[in-house]
């Protein structure tokens, strides 16, 4: 793989990519419907999103915090920009009267009981995403995984189907349990996903060189939260990610497993949309938590 001699300089992370006529990076030449769906998922004023990820049940079942989505997650809907969920939860639990944009999990297969998770297939027709008025669909891509080629082709098939109907695809970098999670890996994975047509990419934050991951990805990157951290650490991670070029977050456990999810999602929103500093956002979290 070709590597830059002076890595930081070659990525020009401080020079934004031009997107004439539309607020989202790499999206200015898409069709109207696709742009309109992106503009419902990402806030046009800030160019960022707070997407609440609650799709975990598609392979983990009723994980902690998602045992009763009707009770734990529906009260958070007003505080997010979009919800990332499965079509099963959408149809069974989320009121159809909701105006919130819905991004739907479109891949599945192996459960948490299996060692190898990359053996996924497309798990939803694009017709159903249209029927459900989805604002987007999301799919795992296992770069370097045992079933890498299949997962890449799952995504490209979904991208082709999405282009036919104007539904954007979020490609998700799924990292194998034994793989190194560093900027080099995420640059590779995010870039492959974007080159093969995803309209935006979800990936994990890394302490070193995250700005090279966002700079070398020609479409928006949203940060996945990962395992539950203390609230100040999670807010710091979200802050660093958006300051280093992420177009927001698609966070789950760090919100719904918090002691005070409503307070936490409000604090994440302040970090993402107002560039609030982590300590200030943590104060906000604490003050809202005591009022919960």
Nearer to ligand R5P, 37 or 253 (CB): 253
Residue 276 to residues 11, 139, 148, 240: CA-CA distances in angstroms? Answer: 26, 30, 38, 11
Q: Which is nearer to ligand R5P, 13 or 249 (CB)?
A: 249
Task: Identify the CA nearest to 224 among candidates 88, 87, 69, 105.
Answer: 105
Is residue 27 classed exposed, middle or buried when 0-12, 13-18 and 19+ CB atoms within 10 A define those classes? buried
Could you write out the DSSP letters of every residue in 82-117?
EEEE-HHHHHHTS-TT--S-EEEE-EE---TTSS--
Report the residue number, 13 or 238, with the smaller CB distance to ligand R5P: 238
Give the chain's radius of gyration (CA, Å): 18
- Cβ distance 138 to 172 under 8 Å? yes
The distance of closest approach from Cβ of residue 54 to ligand R5P in the complex, given in angstroms and rounded to an integer, is: 8
Question: Using CB atoms, what's the residue nearest to ligand R5P?
Answer: 225
Q: How far is the CB of 84 from ligand R5P (least distance, A)?
A: 6
CB of 21 to ligand R5P, least distance (A): 31
CB of 29 to ligand R5P, least distance (A): 27
> What string of DSSP letters covers 238-252?
HHHHHHTT--EEEE-
Residue ranges binding ligand R5P (CB under 6 A): 53, 55-56, 84, 172, 224-226, 250-254
Instruction: Report in angstroms how near the CB of residue 258 gets to ligand R5P at its nearest.
Output: 11
Given the residues 6, 100, 184, 202, the one annotated as active site: 202
From the list 217, 216, 204, 207, the residue with the least C-alpha distance to 249 is: 204
Closest CA to 108 of 174, 30, 178, 33: 174
User: Judged by CB, which is closer to ligand R5P: 172, or 276?
Assistant: 172
Q: Annotated catalytic, 100? A: no
Q: For ligand R5P, give the closer residue by CB, 141 or 159.
A: 141
Which residues have a catalytic role annotated?
202
């Amino acid at each position: 793989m070709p590597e830059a001699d002076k890595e930081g300089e070659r990525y020009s992370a401080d020079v934004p990519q031009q997107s004439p006529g539309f607020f989202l990076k790499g999206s200015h030449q898409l069709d109207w419907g696709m742009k309109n769906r992106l503009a419902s998922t990402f806030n046009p004023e800030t160019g960022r999103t707070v997407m609440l990820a609650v799709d975990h049940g598609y392979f983990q079942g009723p994980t902690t915090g998602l045992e009763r989505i009707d009770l734990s997650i529906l009260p958070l809907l007003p505080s997010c920009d979009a919800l990332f969920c499965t079509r099963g939860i959408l149809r069974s639990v989320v009121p159809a009267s909701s105006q919130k944009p819905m991004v739907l999990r479109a891949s599945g297969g192996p459960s948490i009981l299996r060692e190898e998770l990359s053996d996924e297939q497309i798990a939803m027709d694009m017709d159903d995403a249209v029927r459900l008025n989805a604002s987007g669909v999301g799919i795992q891509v296992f770069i370097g995984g045992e079933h890498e080629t299949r997962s890449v082709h799952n995504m490209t098939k979904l991208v082709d189907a999405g282009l036919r109907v104007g539904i954007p695809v979020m490609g998700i970098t799924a990292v194998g349990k034994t793989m190194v999670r560093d900027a080099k890996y995420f640059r590779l994975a995010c870039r492959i996903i974007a080159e093969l047509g995803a309209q935006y990419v979800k990936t994990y934050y890394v302490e070193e060189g995250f700005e090279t991951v966002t700079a070398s990805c020609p479409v928006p990157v949203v940060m996945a939260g990962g395992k539950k951290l203390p609230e100040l650490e999670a807010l710091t991670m979200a802050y660093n990610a958006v300051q280093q070029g992420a177009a927001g977050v698609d966070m789950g456990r760090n919100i719904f497993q918090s002691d005070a999810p409503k307070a936490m999602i409000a604090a994440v929103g302040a970090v993402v949309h107002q560039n609030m500093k982590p300590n200030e956002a943590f104060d906000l979290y604490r003050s809202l938590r005591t009022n919960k």
